[in-house]
Structure 1
Amino acid sequence: MKYVSGFLSIIVALFFSSTGAEDVVVYGQVGGTVTLPILKWGSEKVLVQWYFGMNNQFMISRNYQGRETTAPQWEDRLSLSKTDFSLIINNIRLEDFNSFRCELKDFRSTPITSVTIFRLSHVSVQPVSPLLAGKNLNLKCDIKEIVEGTQRRWLNPQKQDLNEDKRVQIGDDSSLTVMKVTGQDHGEWTCVVTYKGREAYANTPVTIIDLSPAHPQPIYTSVSPLSLLHLPCFFSIPLPLSWSDSQEKGIQGGRWTFTPSPAAGSLTGVVQTLVNLSLGPPLAWVVNQKRRLDVSALHTNNRNLSLSKKGVTVGDRGKYTCVVEFQRDDTLKREMRVEVLQLLTSPVSVAFVGQEVNLTCTLGQPLTSDLEVKWIPPHHSSLLPLGSSPHPTLLTIPEATYGDGGWWRCELWRNKTKLTSVEITLKIERVPMDVWLLVTICAAAVIFVLLLILTVILIRRHRQRVMIPRRGKRRFCNCKDPKPKGFYRN
């Protein structure tokens, strides 16, 4: 048995010696964390020791009883894995990119040593200056020591692969170009280096200067002295101080413009300047007071360019544009369209009992197929129930009653979302006595005039008959007593 045990020890020693010749490349980034992997042996009586550099400077060790010893210069950055003998290095420094040596000693019978050499290779991504939205982003993943079989790929700030992004171009050297970046590209970009199933990550922050996302749909509001129209425009991230104060790239100006729509009752295509941005410091708006605009958002935060207006009218329908200008003719802008819901009545002010009343709910133009209106009449209206949707934009009350008076509300909906609503008070009154008296007098006058005309016509016809002479027949006779030849009148 002793001979067999000695033979097995020699075989194990030869195996460990062969595995000790392994030379492993691991990639890492300055400031990051890396793990140098060493699997756990079957035996518990193992001493693990880690050394750094060509001079084999001691770093950390753990004996088979689990007691660890760490060199003072590494105490705050090193640890050994609890499940195996792997070395974890935190907050990697530039001088750490060197060789590491791991020695494992097994004391089951005779000392057996396994040695593994690691080479920590530097992976880096060059930082880029802040970019304006619409510019191109260029990144390059640099590796100090590229080993055959090493692969590189990129992840965007949402940690998504870029294979489906049509804006992305990846060069043969794994350099990355993203065309026309937006605020969605702001954040940490990652170069993933893969070698023998192990992955290393090199991150770099990318700052994209952009305005808040534009509204995909129009902004809907309604005609009311209490309605508040809010037009958002702000930087999606705080401007970096070093960038915003730069004379080369800083803000040079800005403005809000308004282009009325045909439904606003104004000439289309006529661009009106609502507000101009004064550079200051600090930034300040120069406001067109005729529009009753509120720019208090800018006063509380120099990066918030939002605009608001209280008291909405049909004249506010149209396109609003927020423009921020930078050096080198670079411009950021956001456009938004405002639709104003209006409720019209005919007759305009007061309707009388029994009179036909028309209510029209309109945006000033035909509704698109995805929009519909819903009418909310008074509780005692003669039109109840109105029936299921879609309700008509023109609602007719054939004969108004007192129950039709009160608050009428028209709501604008898209699918199951209410966009806005508008209300009016409809007054239904009884026809006053003076009106009935006037109607009676007018009717009597009309009847009298008609009778007078009829009388005149009859008199004229009678006179015409009297004035026409009668055309009677002449009588002739043949006398018994002959007279001279001829005929004589009786």
Structure 2
Amino acid sequence: MLGLILIPLFITVLKAQESQEVIYAQVGGTVTLPRDKIERKDGNIKTQDIYVNWFLDSENTLIINRNPQISINKGTNARVSLSADFSLQISPVEESDFVIWRCEQHVLARNYKKTYKLYKVSIPKVPALLVGGRLFLKYVKDVSSVNPSVTWISPKNEGCQEHKNTKDTVLVPSVSTCHNGVWTCQLKYENKKTEATTTVSVIDLAPSPADPIYTSISQSSTVSIPCALSSAIPWSVLNETLQGGSWSFTPLSEPRSPLSLLTLNVGSVVRWDLANGANFTDGKRVITNHNLSIQNLPVKETIRGVYKCSLKFNTKTISREVKVEVLKVSPSGSLKVFEGTRLNVTCSLGHMNTAGLEVKWTCASNCPPFNHKSPPHLSVLSFPKIRMQDKGLVKCELWKNSQKLTSAQLYLRVEKAPVDIWLCVAIGSGVVVFILLVAFAIIYIRRHKQMMMYRRRKTRFCCCNNNKQPKGFYKT
């Protein structure tokens, strides 16, 4: 008896559901409930003359309406609006919107009603994945009278091929940066299309430069060592699995032992701190917009080497290496040379050059032939007798595959040898020689006189003084 009562009730419910137009939507998305167009064959009734009212089926409250005489009533719900053909648009969709909606149209003396049932479709959010991790996506929808077809569309990333999948789920055994971004689940049913989206975050570092960074030593020259996350993942998400990070440096010269430069502080404020015992005070270490680079590092010979940026997570450590080459041009002596002297100018990276590199010299005048037989880590430009026209800039350029990598230069100051200096030297030398000759002559004369004094005998004579008066008193 009870079954006989429930069967008619069930049939009534099914008929009611069949009379409702099924619309799928995603929370936070946008959905349109299409209004049926009411037109007559004689063309006397135009769309602009139709009154349109939208209601929630469970309520008699008017949500929004269109009156051709008083324009559109926007109602009190800011998320609801009418399109150009007076269809109902809801944006963004909220949980409370998955109910029955009713559209009433008034054309002259006739009324037209239609109901819509909004069903929810969603994609469970997946946590951020480390590169190489496993990705699994599926969609979840409310049961309705329609059976939509499903198409998954992968993110549109530059350099990556877009993939489409017609299965209900998506499984990627090993994700890469190509899988980072917005995935779209497209549902098609009864000439309608609904899209549900989810964002997949793949944690990885941006690729390192394919070639080394070439720079040169010059006044106030700086270089930046790049390191950045491949996508703008919030630090709040990274901190869930991020344990730390570091910058290290391995010089190209001996000894080639890694040196710790910086460590990553992943507390409330993400920043680079100096590693224990590190003597690294150059360059800016500010982290902005997921940029982990060392910026504005002053160029010196000591910065030649391989820089390694690493991020350590719970299950994996990802890192990138950047090689920095420094070109230096230097003279064999002082930059100030005198005309006619020999000068060698050396251009070097400080180590064995990579195959394919070419050195080009540019001088103020015609450059002399440089030494092709010099060691492979340097190039030597020889001036056998430098001239006044060689004065000026000497530039060394480093090229590879018709592309200029970097250049270094110096300014040669060529001067004539001053004549007055040689004259003073000659006069001074003459005076010194003359003084020495006079001194030798005086010494010789004195010694000669002393020798003669010993050889001569002098006769001595005794003289008597007879003019002495006798003693006594005299009368005057």
The TM-score by the shorter chain falls in which range?
0.5 to 0.7
Match 2:189 to one of 188, 195, 204:
195
Q: Which runs of 5+ in 1 are unaligned?
A: 1-20, 387-391, 438-490
- Listed one character per residue, the Cα deviations across residues 84-108 of structure 1 (whole Å, up to 9, x for unaligned) are 231112221223223333343432x
Question: 1:154 maps to which residue?
Answer: 153
**Alpha-carbon deviation of 1:350?**
6.8
Tell me if structure 1 keeps the 8 A contact 2:149–2:189.
yes
**Correspondence 1:239-254 to 2 at 5 A:** 240=234, 242-243=236-237, 246=240, 249-251=241-243, 253-254=244-245
The amino acid of 1:333's aligned partner reads S
Match 1:227 to one of 195, 210, 221:
221
Work out whether 1:25 is the aligned partner of 2:22.
yes
**Alpha-carbon deviation of 1:198?**
3.4
The amino acid of 2:155's aligned partner reads N
**Alpha-carbon deviation of 1:254?**
2.8
Work out whether 1:333 is the aligned partner of 2:333.
no
Tell me if structure 2 keeps the 8 A contact 1:319–1:337.
yes
Cα distance change on mapping 1:178 and 1:95 into 2, 3 Å: farther
Question: 2:262 maps to which residue?
Answer: 275
Tell me if structure 2 keeps the 8 A contact 1:137–1:181.
no
Q: Which runs of 5+ in 2 are unaligned?
A: 1-17, 40-44, 371-377, 426-476
TM-score (norm 2): 0.66
Cα distance change on mapping 1:136 and 1:352 into 2, 3 Å: farther
Question: 2:457 maps to which residue?
Answer: none
Distance 1:161 1:57 in 2: 52
Work out whether 1:177 is the aligned partner of 2:165.
no
The amino acid of 1:202's aligned partner reads A
SS at match of 1:127: coil
Tell me if structure 2 keeps the 8 A contact 1:260–1:267.
yes
Distance 2:33 2:398 in 1: 63
Quick one: percent identity of the two aligned structures? 33
SS at match of 1:175: strand
Work out whether 1:421 is the aligned partner of 2:400.
no
SS at match of 2:210: coil
Question: 1:286 maps to which residue?
Answer: 274
The amino acid of 1:31's aligned partner reads G
Cα distance change on mapping 1:343 and 1:117 into 2, 3 Å: same
Question: 1:35 maps to which residue?
Answer: 32
Tell me if structure 2 keeps the 8 A contact 1:141–1:175.
no
Tell me if structure 2 keeps the 8 A contact 1:139–1:176.
yes
Tell me if structure 1 keeps the 8 A contact 2:105–2:111.
yes
Distance 2:292 2:135 in 1: 26
Distance 2:106 2:266 in 1: 71
Cα distance change on mapping 1:291 and 1:220 into 2, 3 Å: farther
Query: Does 343-352 or 25-34 show the bigger shift?
Result: 343-352
Match 2:65 to one of 61, 65, 74:
61
Work out whether 1:258 is the aligned partner of 2:259.
no
Tell me if structure 2 keeps the 8 A contact 1:188–1:204.
yes
Distance 1:212 1:67 in 2: 54
Tell me if structure 1 keeps the 8 A contact 2:182–2:197.
yes
Work out whether 1:81 is the aligned partner of 2:75.
no
Question: 1:46 maps to which residue?
Answer: 50
**Alpha-carbon deviation of 1:126?**
1.4
Distance 1:302 1:36 in 2: 40
**Correspondence 1:49-448 to 2 at 5 A:** 49-53=53-57, 58-63=62-67, 65=69, 67-68=71-72, 75-82=77-84, 84-107=85-108, 111-145=109-143, 147-156=146-155, 164-165=161-162, 170=165, 172-175=167-170, 177=172, 179-182=174-177, 187-224=181-218, 226-235=220-229, 240=234, 242-243=236-237, 246=240, 249-251=241-243, 253-261=244-252, 264=253, 266-268=254-256, 270-277=257-264, 283-287=271-275, 292-294=280-282, 296-298=284-286, 305-307=292-294, 311-328=298-315, 330-345=316-331, 353-354=339-340, 357-363=343-349, 364-366=351-353, 368-369=355-356, 372-378=358-364, 381-383=365-367, 395-397=381-383, 399-413=385-399, 419-428=405-414
SS at match of 2:122: strand
TM-score (norm 1): 0.64
**Alpha-carbon deviation of 1:148?**
3.3
Distance 1:97 1:34 in 2: 11
CA RMSD of aligned residues (A): 4.3
**Alpha-carbon deviation of 1:36?**
1.4
**Alpha-carbon deviation of 1:373?**
4.5
- Listed one character per residue, the Cα deviations across residues 341-360 of structure 1 (whole Å, up to 9, x for unaligned) are 12244578776644565544
Distance 1:318 1:301 in 2: 25
**Alpha-carbon deviation of 1:321?**
0.2
The amino acid of 1:317's aligned partner reads R
Distance 2:289 2:78 in 1: 42
Distance 2:278 2:314 in 1: 31
Query: Does 276-285 or 203-212 show the bigger shift?
Result: 276-285
Cα distance change on mapping 1:217 and 1:144 into 2, 3 Å: farther
Distance 2:407 2:394 in 1: 10
Distance 2:235 2:304 in 1: 37
SS at match of 2:323: strand
Q: How many residues align?
A: 388
SS at match of 1:400: coil
The amino acid of 1:25's aligned partner reads V
The amino acid of 1:254's aligned partner reads G
Tell me if structure 2 keeps the 8 A contact 1:293–1:310.
no
Cα distance change on mapping 1:359 and 1:193 into 2, 3 Å: farther
SS at match of 1:297: coil
